[in-house]
Structure 1
Amino acid sequence: MSVDTPRRIVLLRHAKAEWSQAPSDHERPLAERGRKDAPVAGRRLAGSGIDFDLALCSTAARTRETWKLAVHEFEQRPKTLYEERLYDASLGELIALFNETPDEVRNLLVIGHNPGMHGAADALAGSSEGDVLARMTRDGFATAAFAVLEFPGTWKSVELGAGRLTDYWTPID
C-alpha cells in the first residue's frame, strides 16, 4: 500500500452498559438499550462504504458484546484483535496503538470507551467537514456513537491534529 493512500480510523464507543452487580467495571454487560443500539451502529457502519481491514476491540464485556452485535450487520467480518490496552487507555496509549497498526491496513475500526474515544477523535482532528466537529462536541460522544477520521501517510505518522474528521454518527440523531 502506498504512503499516499489515505488511512481511516473509525472510533466506536461501546453501546449503553448496565450499572449492574457485575464483579468489576470490566465485566459490565450491555443494557437493553445497548443491545438495541449496537446492531443499528453496525448497520450504519456496514452501509458507510468503508471496508474494514482490522478491528481492535477492548477486552471489556460491554465492548465485546457491542462488537458481536454490530459485526453481524457486516457482509464480511474484518480480522478482529481483542486488545487489553484499549480498556481505560489514555490518549498517548491510543496513539501508540494506532502507530503500531500494520502498513497493509487501510481502514481500522476501534471499539472502545469514553473518555478515550471522544478524546482521541477530538485531539486527532486537525480539521473537519461541515458541522461534524460541532455535532460531536455537542453530543459528547454518546454510547454506540462513532467518529470517522482520515489521515495521510503511514500509521506511524498518526499524531495530534493530523487527521480530518469526516463523519460523526450517534443513534440519538
Structure 2
Amino acid sequence: MTLAGDDKVLILFRHAKAEQVPGKDDHARELTGRGRKDARAAGQWLHEHGIGPELVLCSSSVRTRQTWDAAVEGGACGETVEFDRAIYNGSPDAVLQELRERAGEAQVVLVVGHNPTMAALASGLTEGDGSSQAHECLAEGFPTSTVAMLRYAGPWSDLGIGTAVLDRCHTARG
C-alpha cells in the first residue's frame, strides 16, 4: 500500500472467537478452533490487500495475542508489535489516546482489540464518512475477526471524532 505525505491508515481488528468458560479469568480466555481459522483468514485478507502495518498495538489478553499470531500465520505482517493492557480494558477514548501517544511516525497502525470498543472507535472516528459498503459491514455489529480500515490525513495526535474515512470493512471466516 502506497501512502503520500500525511496520509495514514488505521486498521481496527476485533479478536477472533474465544472460548466461554465459566469462572475463567476473562484476560486468560483462549481462541476456539473456529477463532484460529477466522484469524488466519483475516491475516490472509490483510496480506492479499497489501496492508502491512508498521506498528501493531495489541491488547494484552490471551485471545488478542492468539488472534495476531494466527493472523501472521495467514500472511499478515507487522514491523513492531506492542502489547498493551490499556487496550484490553480501555474505552474508545482510552484506546484513541494510546494510539495518539504511541503511533509516532508510522503511517499504518493496526490495533487488535475488543468490542464494544473497536466498533465504537470505528464508528466515532468516521461518523458515516467513507464507503457505504464498508459502513454496511460495520453496521452488522463488528463481529469477531472483523477488520475495519480507516484512512486519515494528518498527525496521529490530531486523530479524533469524525476525522477519518472508513475505506474497507471485512469479517473474516476460515
Q: What TM-score, normalized to structure 1?
A: 0.91
Kindly provide the amino acid, as one letter, of the partner of residue 134 in structure 2.
Answer: V
SS at match of 1:149: strand
CA contact (8 A) 1:53 1:105 kept: yes
Aligned ranges 1:66-77 → 2 under 5 Å = 66-74=67-75, 76-77=77-78
Aligned ranges 1:28-47 → 2 under 5 Å = 28-47=29-48
CA contact (8 A) 2:52 2:76 kept: no
**Cα distance in 2, alignment partners of residues 103 and 3 from structure 1:** 16
Give aligned pairs, total.
171
After TM superposition, the runs of 4+ consecutive aligned structure 1 residues lying more than 4 A away are none
Q: CA RMSD in A?
A: 2.0
**Cα distance in 2, alignment partners of residues 130 and 75 from structure 1:** 26
**How much does 1:34 deviate?**
0.3
| Counterpart position of 2:28 | 27
- Post-superposition Cα deviations, 1:133-167, rounded to whole Å, max 9, x if no partner, equal 12211x20010011000111000010001000000
Q: CA 1:62 to 1:104, structure 2 compared with 1: closer, same or farther past 3 Å?
A: same
**Cα distance in 2, alignment partners of residues 76 and 128 from structure 1:** 25
Q: Between 111-120 and 76-85, report the one with greater CA deviation.
A: 76-85
Unaligned runs of 5+ in 2: none
Matched, 1:131 2:133: yes
Q: Between 36-45 and 15-24, report the one with greater CA deviation.
A: 15-24
**How much does 1:15 deviate?**
0.3
Overall identity of the aligned pairs, in %: 33
Q: CA 1:147 to 1:82, structure 2 compared with 1: closer, same or farther past 3 Å?
A: same
- Post-superposition Cα deviations, 1:67-86, rounded to whole Å, max 9, x if no partner, equal 11111233754210001100
CA contact (8 A) 2:52 2:78 kept: no
Aligned ranges 1:23-172 → 2 under 5 Å = 23-74=24-75, 76-126=77-127, 127-137=129-139, 139-171=140-172
SS at match of 1:103: coil
